[in-house]
């Protein structure tokens, strides 16, 4: 058996990462670039995207950016088409862009619901739809959706995000079957609490909230964006060629450990 050499495994390939200007998206972009791929980060604001591109270039990788609000289907199609015109291909798409805030369901305004559904669920479909036109024509591609385990177990205060992420799981499984014979894989990754500014601000803004979240993780710590990117890069690579329609949970045991007391001991 030969062990694949993964150091340059994305050489000659092109990936688009939405929300690539920060957090997990930025780390995935770095990881793809570090393994020889060309990575295009997509987002609303030019400044953080440019910063990602400069960081990847400084590390010897190749990157570019495109500004686009994932909520605009027409602009998204234009952005993806422009990437393919320029680069000649699109091998991977990571739907990472997200919006979130904590609100009890009964206080959530219809507009608040819509903002998150538009970014997370609709935005992921728009990008997937646009990228799939090219991937299906080429007969290969990998689409990776960043979700959260509350897609299936729910979580108080995040009904908008949980519903959107749950929708993405259904979208993933449906399209994975539609496209499997045509070389396009569709998967999800479900990170647990990860050290990013965006999630920190939106979900664990105080030291007490942060401690409570950390106490609920059997591994006893948050993930680093880099370790989420490591798992993401596996699913984007040929090493995962036979994996489609799947959800890879990378959460330090968080969701399975929900019935465990925070000291990790059994209820004696």
Is 111 near ligand HXC (CB under 6 A)? yes
In terms of CB distance, is 66 or 98 closer to ligand HXC? Answer: 98
Is 6 near ligand HXC (CB under 6 A)? no
Is 41 near ligand HXC (CB under 6 A)? no
The C-alpha angle 24, 30, 35, rounded to 5 degrees, equals 130
- Applying CB under 6 A, which of residues 50, 77, 136, 202 lies at the interface with ligand HXC? 202
The residue number with the shortest CB distance to ligand HXC is 99
DSSP for residue 75: H
- Applying CB under 6 A, which of residues 95, 100, 142, 231 lies at the interface with ligand HXC? 100
Exposure string for 8-42, b = 16+ CB within 10 A, e = fewer: ebbeebbbbbbbbbbbbbbbbbbbbbbbbbbbbbb
**Smallest distance from the beta carbon of 148 to ligand HXC, in angstroms?**
4
Residues 6+ apart with CB under 8 A from 60: none
- Applying CB under 6 A, which of residues 55, 62, 103, 140 lies at the interface with ligand HXC? 103
Is 116 near ligand HXC (CB under 6 A)? yes
- Applying CB under 6 A, which of residues 52, 95, 145, 161 lies at the interface with ligand HXC? 161
- Which member of 32, 126, 150, 261 is catalytic? 150
Sheet holding 38-43, edge to edge: 62-67, 38-43, 14-18, 92-95, 141-146, 184-191, 247-250
150 carries an active-site annotation: yes
Is 169 near ligand HXC (CB under 6 A)? no
Q: What is the distance between the alpha carbons of residues 237 and 250, in angstroms, rounded to a whole number? A: 17
In terms of CB distance, is 194 or 237 closer to ligand HXC? Answer: 194
Is 206 near ligand HXC (CB under 6 A)? no
Is 94 near ligand HXC (CB under 6 A)? no
Is 68 near ligand HXC (CB under 6 A)? no
User: Among candidates 129, 131, 170, which has minimal Cα distance to 147?
Assistant: 170
Alpha helices in 39-149 (DSSP H): 46-58, 73-87, 110-116, 123-138
User: Among candidates 197, 194, 253, 203, which has minimal Cα distance to 229?
Assistant: 194
Q: Look at the block and give the residue holding tokens 């992921």.
A: 124
Q: Are 193 and 217 in contact (CB under 8 A)?
A: yes
**Residues labelled catalytic:** 150
Residues engaged in binding ligand HXC (CB under 6 A):
98-101, 103, 109, 111-112, 115-116, 148, 161, 193, 198-199, 202-203
């Amino acid at each position: 058996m030969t062990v694949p050499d993964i150091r340059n495994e994305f050489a000659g390939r092109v990936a688009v990462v939405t929300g690539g200007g920060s957090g997990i998206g930025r780390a995935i972009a770095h990881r793809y670039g570090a393994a020889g791929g060309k990575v295009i980060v997509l987002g609303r604001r030019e400044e953080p995207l440019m910063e990602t591109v400069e960081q990847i270039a400084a590390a010897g990788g190749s990157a570019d950016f495109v500004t686009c609000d994932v909520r605009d289907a027409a602009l998204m199609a234009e952005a993806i088409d422009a990437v393919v015109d320029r680069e000649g291909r699109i091998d991977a798409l990571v739907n990472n862009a997200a919006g979130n805030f904590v609100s009890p369901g009964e206080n959530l305004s219809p507009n608040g619901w819509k903002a998150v559904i538009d970014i997370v669920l609709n935005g992921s479909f728009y990008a997937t739809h646009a990228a799939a036109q090219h991937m299906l024509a080429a007969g290969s591609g990998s689409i990776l959706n960043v979700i959260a385990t509350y897609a299936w177990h729910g979580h108080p205060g995040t009904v908008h995000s949980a519903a959107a992420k749950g929708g993405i799981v259904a979208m993933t499984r449906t399209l994975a079957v539609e496209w499997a014979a045509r070389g396009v894989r569709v998967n999800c990754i479900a990170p647990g609490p990860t050290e990013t500014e965006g999630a920190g601000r939106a979900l664990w803004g105080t030291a007490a909230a942060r401690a409570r979240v950390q106490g609920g993780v059997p591994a006893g710590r948050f993930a680093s964006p880099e370790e989420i990117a490591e798992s993401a890069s596996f699913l984007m690579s040929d090493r995962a060629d036979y994996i489609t329609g799947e959800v890879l949970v990378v959460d330090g045991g968080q969701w399975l450990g929900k019935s465990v007391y925070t000291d990790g001991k059994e209820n004696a």
